[in-house]
Amino acid sequence: MTTTTLPAATAELTSKRIPSVDVLRGFTLAAMILVNAAGEWPHAYWPLKHAQWNGCTPTDLVFPTFLFLTGTSLVFSFRSRLARGVGKRELFLHTLKRSVILFFIGVLLNALPYFHIGTLRIYGVLQRIALCYLCVSVLYLWNRRPAFLLSVAALLLLGYWILMRWIPLPGGLIPGRDVPLLDPVRNWVAICDRWLHLGRLYEITRDPEGLLSTPPAIATTLLGVLTGLWLQSQRTIKEKSAGMLIAGAALLGSGLLWSLWFPLNKKLWTSSYVLFAAGCALVGLGLFTYLMKDDRKDSWWSYPWLVFGTNAIAAYVLSEVIAIAISAIHIPGGDDKLTLKKYLFTHLFAPFGPGMDSLLFSLFFVLVCFVPIWILFRRRIFIKI
């Protein structure tokens, strides 16, 4: 992990990325921190909680949008480095190193604060980002043609659908005939998670970031790469924005249509969910691209998201560390279960009533995470892996 101090942040950033991508990434990161904090309370408003199984809430769109933007950013980063004469082999080795470090940080966060190796969770958000980033980088370095990348994404989504819908489960059970389609326990993703025994599973019988649901997540990242290639094309901002809005609407419709046979499901990262979530990300990026006109004017509405977006991984890791810390620190003189987190919630936010208390606590938590990232931004310090 490296820390870069820049004399002119906007000049350096412009060469590798475009403002709308940073702003949408920052907005997504802030939403990720918000829903992670809110979802821990049972009475949180429904948009701030994941769907229990099939279906989709606004919270379910946060992680795929971040993965989508990972692919979009990859295009600009690689283009900049290749233009400076960096060879593909060197670029691959750097990508591999970055992915390994990101994966390790994710596992380390899972181990905090007590480091119980026997119950360590291997899967996680950063781990999935690392795997998708590595796989998509290899594909992009091998062949940057849009037709190839689109074909790979289509094969991943179709193959995943065939696996989950048509391949018999152990015992010869056919999904949709002998057992419910996408049964929470009897599906190939959950079965694979239990077979592999890769540490503790987040939901005991399965893991939402499990290995077998990673290929469709790779497709999400590939759709982001295709969007990055579109943004690099010699078209006007209006044409690029319109193209993303049209493509986003098409993906939204396709995802909803496919969901009639293959339901939207974030925990299994179903193919219909990939299309639907990517459509939402495309619509958002199209709107942001048009509103910002691709300049670096930090308007009042975009500035906070720009701060988060230019140090996104650092902000996410910081939010996880703070969340773990306030859940582990116990208040002296209280009962054994009175943590700093529960103390703050009970004394500062609970009086506002169910729902609002969770929302206000989450907004406060986002603000706490924002302050150190803002200080880094003001000092033009950008933490990179």
Residue at 77: amino acid letter: S
What are all long-range contacts of 99-108, with beta carbons under 8 Å and residues at least 24 apart? 99/130, 99/131, 99/133, 99/134, 99/137, 100/130, 101/1, 101/385, 102/126, 102/127, 102/129, 102/130, 102/133, 102/313, 102/385, 103/127, 103/130, 103/131, 105/317, 106/130
| 297 pLDDT more than 90 | no
- pLDDT, position 334: 60
Q: How many whole angstroms separate alpha carbon 192 and alpha carbon 121?
A: 15
d(CA 223, CA 91): 21
Percent of the chain with pLDDT over 70: 93
Q: How far apart are CA 278 and CA 223, in angstroms?
A: 7
Reported confidence tier of residue 127, pLDDT bands at 50, 70, 90: very high
pLDDT at 295 over 80: no
Which of 31-45, 62-76, 272-286 has the weakest average pLDDT?
31-45
What's the token pair of residue 91? 């670029």
Q: What pLDDT sits at residue 14? A: 40
CA dist 110 and 118 (Å) reads 12
CA–CA separation, 212 and 378 (whole Å)? 41
Average pLDDT over residues 41-52: 88
- Collapsing DSSP states into helix, strand and coil, what is residue 232? coil
Q: Report the b/e string of 318-357 with b at 16+ CB within 10 A.
A: bbbebbbebeeeeeeeeeeeebebbebbeeebbeeeeeeb
Mean pLDDT score of the chain, rounded to an integer? Answer: 90
Contacts of 308 (CB under 8 A, 6+ apart): 25, 26, 27, 29, 30, 315, 370, 373
Mean predicted confidence (pLDDT) in 300-318 = 91
pLDDT band at 115 (very low <50, low <70, confident <90, very high): confident
pLDDT bracket for residue 39 (50, 70, 90):
low
Instruction: State mean pLDDT over 62-88.
Output: 93
Tell me the mean pLDDT in the region 157-186.
94
Residue 3: per-residue pLDDT: 58
What pLDDT sits at residue 12? 41
Average pLDDT over residues 316-336: 86
Q: What is the mean pLDDT of residues 20-49?
A: 90
CB half-sphere exposure, 188, CA atoms < 13 A = 20
Distance CA 226, CA 222 (A): 6
Helix (H) or strand (E) holding 224: helix 214-231
Model pTM?
0.91
Task: Kindly state the average pLDDT of the residues 1-29.
Answer: 66
Q: Please provide the DSSP assignment of 1-49 as one string.
A: -EEEE-SSHHHHHHTT--HHHHHHHHHHHHHHHHHHHHTTSTT--GGGS
Q: Does residue 348 carry a pLDDT above 80?
A: yes
Section 300-313 average pLDDT: 90
| CA atoms of 203 and 185, how far apart (whole Å) | 10
| Tokens standing for residue 365 | 């938590």
Whether 213 and 193 have beta carbons less than 8 Å apart is answered as no
- The closest of 12, 14, 9, 17 to 228, measured between CA atoms, is 17
Structure confidence by residue, pLDDT tens digits, 212-267: 999 999 999 999 999 999 999 888 889 999 999 999 999 999 999 999 999 999 99
Confidence label for 296 from pLDDT (cuts 50, 70 and 90): low
